[in-house]
Structure 1
Amino acid sequence: MTRSSPVPVRLRGLAGNLCRSAIVMGLFGFIQTSPAEAASQKHPSRHHHSAQHSSTTPVELKAQPGTELDRQARSLNADLLDDAARHNETPIVLTGTAKLAPKQKNMILFVQLQSYRLCGSAGCTTSIYRRNGNKWDTLLDSVNGSIRIARQRHNGLADIIIDGNDRWVFDGQKYEDTLNSP
């Protein structure tokens, strides 16, 4: 009989140690799961977060080149687009619309410009406009993060939720942040 190599013995010892470590880590919640597994697990903080999202509707922004929405968005942001062109950039223009009141008559336009110069570490900014006759009023200028429409309203228009927890309310003319300034 020949003596076996010490490598398998070391590997078996290493495998046993790894297995014990995984069990301990699993018991204390240190093991991360895949996104699919994480989505199927129930966590109190996630449940609360998803409950918050159940009463809101996401604003869908997409590129719509050649459409009337795209033309309006480019017109409203001509100064930013001109500046980007001077720096040899062609921003992507994303647009979307949303209903902010039950009997809304005027169009609400969401516009996001994406380019190296126009986006920063916090992401790209989005502005919100409302059609007022032949002109557009700026309701909210340059916010970063995902945008959701809440069911709760102030002064006739739905509250806006930025990045899941920053609530903006309509004051009759424009949206105001509800977070206290430091």
Structure 2
Amino acid sequence: MILSHHRFTRHLLRSAIIMTMSGMALTIAPAGAASQRHAAHHHRGGQQAGTIPVELKSQPGTELDKQARKLNADLLEDATRHHEQPIVLTGTAQLAPKQKDMILFVQLQSYRLCGSAGCTTSIYRKNGDKWDTLLDSVNGTIRIARQRRNGMADIVVDGNDRWVFDGQKYQDTLNSP
């Protein structure tokens, strides 16, 4: 189903209202540039204690935006074939003490790329001239925990889904025995 620009804008506005009412901060910048900030949800207990939110925002034309678009070229090309222009949100964070490698968080937002669970975010690490995928396609707010495994901070997705670094990539602890 293809939505007109007007209907898509109304859909985004409804989503923004729902997200704001649920405690997730959403900021829309002037001139149609979208900027989403992953803010803390107000969860029960201390689920957010000891974590730092990852801020994702639209940064058109920057080096981060260019790298994000290269890393997700296949998804962006598919969206273009379906007459969509996804919003590319990026952010960086330090996941290890004295970290030298850049960690890039990328989220693509469009009608086709986002579902009922929200839009997916992927995490990449710069490794020389290439990028390694550390975590691919998770849904929900992303926070960085103080706890570390194999030298890298744990990632907490959507308040309670903890991902730990196995030395190469992040693994979901919910799938662990």
What is the TM-score when the length of structure 2 is the normalising length? 0.74
Q: 1:78 to 1:165 in 2, by over 3 A?
A: same
Residue 142 of structure 2 is matched in structure 1 by: 147
* Separation of aligned partners in 1, 2:97 and 2:88: 28
C-alpha displacement of 1:180: 3.0
2:39 is aligned with 1:77: no
C-alpha displacement of 1:56: 0.1
Please identify which structure carries the higher strand content: 2
2:43–2:159 Cα contact (<8 Å) kept:
no
The structure whose Rg is larger is: 1
* Separation of aligned partners in 2, 1:103 and 1:168: 21
* Separation of aligned partners in 2, 1:59 and 1:174: 18
Moved over 4 A (4+): none
Opposite residue 129 of structure 1, the aligned amino acid is Y
Identity of matched residues, %? 80
* Separation of aligned partners in 1, 2:162 and 2:106: 19
Please identify which structure carries the higher helix content: 1
Deviations 1:110-141 (A, max 9, x none): 00000001000100000000000000000000
Q: Which runs of structure 2 are paired with 1:1-182 in the superposition (5 Å)? A: 48=45, 51-180=46-175
Deviations 1:60-92 (A, max 9, x none): 000000100000000000000000000000000
Opposite residue 77 of structure 2, the aligned amino acid is D
Unaligned runs of 5+ in 1: 1-33, 36-44
* Separation of aligned partners in 1, 2:158 and 2:151: 22
* Separation of aligned partners in 1, 2:100 and 2:176: 34
Unaligned runs of 5+ in 2: 1-20, 23-41
* Separation of aligned partners in 2, 1:117 and 1:181: 31
Aligned length: 139
Q: 1:151 to 1:180 in 2, by over 3 A?
A: same
What is the TM-score when the length of structure 1 is the normalising length? 0.72
Opposite residue 74 of structure 1, the aligned amino acid is R
SS of residue in 2 equivalent to 1:179: helix
